[in-house]
Structure 1
Amino acid sequence: MSGDQARLPVAIVGGLHADARRAAVEEILRTVPGSVALHHDLTSAVDSAVHRTVRDADGLLGSGNAPLVNDCACCALREDLVPELLRLAEAGRHRLAVVELWDSVEPQGMAPVIAAAGAPLALTGVATAVDPALVLPYLSNSDDLADAGLAAAPTDQRTVADTFARQLEYPTVIALVEGSLCGEDGEVADETDHALLAQLTPGARKIRVAGGALGAALLAGFDVAAAAARVHPACALLPQECDEHGASTFVWRRERPFHPQRLYTALEDLTCAAARSRGRFWLADRPDTLLSWDAAGGALCVESAGPWLAALPDAAWEMVPAERRLAASVDWHPEHGDRCQYLTFISPGLDRDGLSALLDSCLLTDDEYTAGRDRWRQLPHAFDDLLDPVT
């Protein structure tokens, strides 16, 4: 085959809620003629292999096992995924290949793998399937994936909450699957559940699986570079202020840096104040380092995301992605450049006033601020254990 005939569209459907994910995939197979689903079950990795199945609307087409790579089931998935997709493309019988990810596998980890393969594969859509009634319970679940039997590798230290949050925030499509469609008799999503999901995923299309439009949405195209920029701490497309049906998004933006010790002391209260919070910030004792804030389920991850653009020499700017330069230029400060505090908190029952007061109290005071950067660097290095752990 050649030209368009040789091109195999590939869509990813993921999600920790396995019943919702399966319902979404079954709907695609039913409504898109010639579609096929490829799934790697990492549950069987205890037997030193990952079980692979290929099916269409009529049932199972084939199965096999992919051996573990360095005792890592997720690594085995990466090694086996593209060859299997290429085999499906070569067969020339399919209009769409749906990669149904296993529970805790994040779309952001697999999308670049497929996109990098190039022709004849074409990544055309990424979706996470969700039952809106389960969004808050999942975001509140602080269990380690390993304890829940969902770890994708021996070194997997993720939690249910932070994994679910990233699964929501990366794709351009959210497939809505109510409990009855999942074969469950659980709670029915209410207005607060839907409002919370909408605020967590402002840039994604929400498509009810029962409506039959999911397959077409996943053939529309997907930009891997844009998706990566959308979730990168330096230029993330963060949610806007909102208060609807009992779910709230609070956006806190300031210019001056945090006092490291006061912020460190407040971390527990700030982390537990919302179901989900994320953003970027800077510390007075580390003025050149862009720090990422990523919290869900009562657990916080603070990491260095490299230097602020203002800390780079002019010659280095050409090596910075255009998306980041654009994001920095929007609120460029005459003194601090792109250095800023930009944090968002999303939750039902959010205490905006309390959060704002607590965050403001962690900033440098007027006297501390006017003392200048040499004095700032002498402040207590309270985040050293988090940012520079001894290994």
Structure 2
Amino acid sequence: MTNGCICCTLRDDLLQEVRRLANEERFDYLLIESTGVSEPLPVAATFDFRDEYGDSLSDVARLDTMVTVVDTVNLLGDYASHDFLKDHGQEIGSDDQRTLVDLLVDQIEFADVVILNGPLPGVLRAKGHFWIATRPDWLAEFSLAGAISSVRPLGRWWASVPEERRPDHPEARAYLARHWQEPFGDRRQELVFIGAGMDKSAIISALDGALIKPTQRLAPEEWAGMADPFPEWQDDPRAA
């Protein structure tokens, strides 16, 4: 099958071809190789899609494993790029605004199995959420992939929300209790660094250097005047 996308124009063709092969009862496994610019999630979702006749790939096949093959010779260069897919003529449609790093992250993080043809030293990925002293009510998200990093608001810490507006579901209350520590409530830092041969001491030192000094911890009113490099954040108007 050529000249199309598995998750859209070729979806019906894929369904028919897989059904034909399944009916032959000659194969135990089928390997589907998609293009280098396809995202794994939409391809995987194709197995749950039902056409206008009610037929689905899941009727004749089960998605077992998603494999991503990584060219480590070029990965670090691509991973440090700020290019968009359209800069390389690899976009899917005129409205495709994905960066090269976006695609790499989607393909690697979604896979069950990642095959490498060489070593990858250092920090490759970092993500998580954290508390900014100058914005005590905001829950901030940090994401690092290659040369592209971002910090954006995820919402508000529950500690900044009135008691009557906090969740009352038992599981939610138990979650809050596990992460609650007076006098700051659920405010905390949770960051994950992924890589190989990482300099653990350097990472810890950099993170410790970003923390409030012990002498400042009990004086929150002084935090507002600290340097803050981020733009102003506003609540999502769609939120209740």
Question: Match of 2:125?
Answer: 276
Question: Match of 1:300?
Answer: 149
Confirm or deny that 1:88 pairs with 2:21: no
Question: Match of 2:7?
Answer: 78
Q: Aligned letter for 2:34?
A: L
CA distance in 2: counterparts of 1:101 and 1:386, whole angstroms: 39
> Does the aligned pair in 2 maintain the 1:280–1:290 contact within 8 Å?
yes
Q: Aligned letter for 2:17?
A: L
Offset at 1:129? 1.3
Name which of 149, 167, 171 aligns with 1:314.
167
Q: Aligned letter for 1:78?
A: C
Q: Secondary structure at the match of 1:88?
A: helix
Describe the shift of the 1:317–1:139 C-alpha distance in structure 2 as closer, same or farther (beyond 3 A).
farther
> Does the aligned pair in 2 maintain the 1:291–1:304 contact within 8 Å?
yes
Q: Secondary structure at the match of 1:174?
A: strand
Deviations 1:309-356 (A, max 9, x none): 6667223676x7xxxx99x68962423555432334456775544443
Matches within 5 A, 1:246-261: 247-248=121-122
Q: Report the TM-score when normalising by structure 1.
A: 0.45
Deviations 1:72-100 (A, max 9, x none): xxxx6533354233323443337444443
Structure with higher helix content: 1
Confirm or deny that 1:334 pairs with 2:187: no
Deviations 1:37-88 (A, max 9, x none): x5x6xxxxxxxxxx14xxxxxxxxxxxxxxxxxxxxxxx6533354233323
Describe the shift of the 1:152–1:283 C-alpha distance in structure 2 as closer, same or farther (beyond 3 A).
farther
Unaligned runs of 5+ in 2: 51-55, 236-240
Describe the shift of the 1:361–1:153 C-alpha distance in structure 2 as closer, same or farther (beyond 3 A).
farther
Q: Aligned letter for 2:208?
A: D
Describe the shift of the 1:143–1:364 C-alpha distance in structure 2 as closer, same or farther (beyond 3 A).
same
Q: Aligned letter for 1:110?
A: V
Question: Match of 1:101?
Answer: 34
Matches within 5 A, 1:344-383: 344-346=192-194, 350-372=198-220, 382-383=229-230
Offset at 1:157? 3.3
Q: Report the TM-score when normalising by structure 2.
A: 0.67
> Does the aligned pair in 2 maintain the 1:82–1:114 contact within 8 Å?
no
CA distance in 1: counterparts of 2:210 and 2:83, whole angstroms: 29
CA distance in 2: counterparts of 1:116 and 1:376, whole angstroms: 52
Confirm or deny that 1:142 pairs with 2:82: yes
Q: Aligned letter for 1:332?
A: H
Offset at 1:162? 3.8
> Does the aligned pair in 2 maintain the 1:275–1:298 contact within 8 Å?
no
CA distance in 2: counterparts of 1:299 and 1:343, whole angstroms: 16
Q: Aligned letter for 2:44?
A: A
CA distance in 1: counterparts of 2:17 and 2:158, whole angstroms: 44
Describe the shift of the 1:172–1:379 C-alpha distance in structure 2 as closer, same or farther (beyond 3 A).
same
Offset at 1:171? 1.1
- Root-mean-square deviation (CA, aligned residues, Å) is 4.0
Q: Secondary structure at the match of 1:129?
A: strand
> Does the aligned pair in 2 maintain the 1:290–1:304 contact within 8 Å?
yes
Offset at 1:159? 2.6
> Does the aligned pair in 2 maintain the 1:139–1:164 contact within 8 Å?
yes
Q: Aligned letter for 2:47?
A: I
Matches within 5 A, 1:18-57: 51-52=3-4
Describe the shift of the 1:160–1:366 C-alpha distance in structure 2 as closer, same or farther (beyond 3 A).
same
CA distance in 2: counterparts of 1:93 and 1:291, whole angstroms: 53
Offset at 1:150? 2.1
Structure with higher strand content: 1
Matches within 5 A, 1:107-126: 107-115=40-48, 117=50, 119-120=58-59, 121-126=61-66
- The percent identity for this pair of structures is 27
Confirm or deny that 1:169 pairs with 2:109: yes
Question: Match of 1:343?
Answer: 191
Describe the shift of the 1:113–1:317 C-alpha distance in structure 2 as closer, same or farther (beyond 3 A).
farther
Q: Aligned letter for 1:299?
A: I
Q: Secondary structure at the match of 1:143?
A: coil
Deviations 1:349-387 (A, max 9, x none): 755444433332322334543234x77567666423588
Q: Secondary structure at the match of 2:41?
A: helix
Q: Secondary structure at the match of 1:128?
A: strand
Q: Aligned letter for 1:334?
A: Q
Describe the shift of the 1:122–1:331 C-alpha distance in structure 2 as closer, same or farther (beyond 3 A).
same
- Residues paired across the two proteins, number: 220
Offset at 1:128? 0.6
Deviations 1:229-263 (A, max 9, x none): xxxxxxxxxxxxxxxxxx35xxxxxxxxxxxxxxx
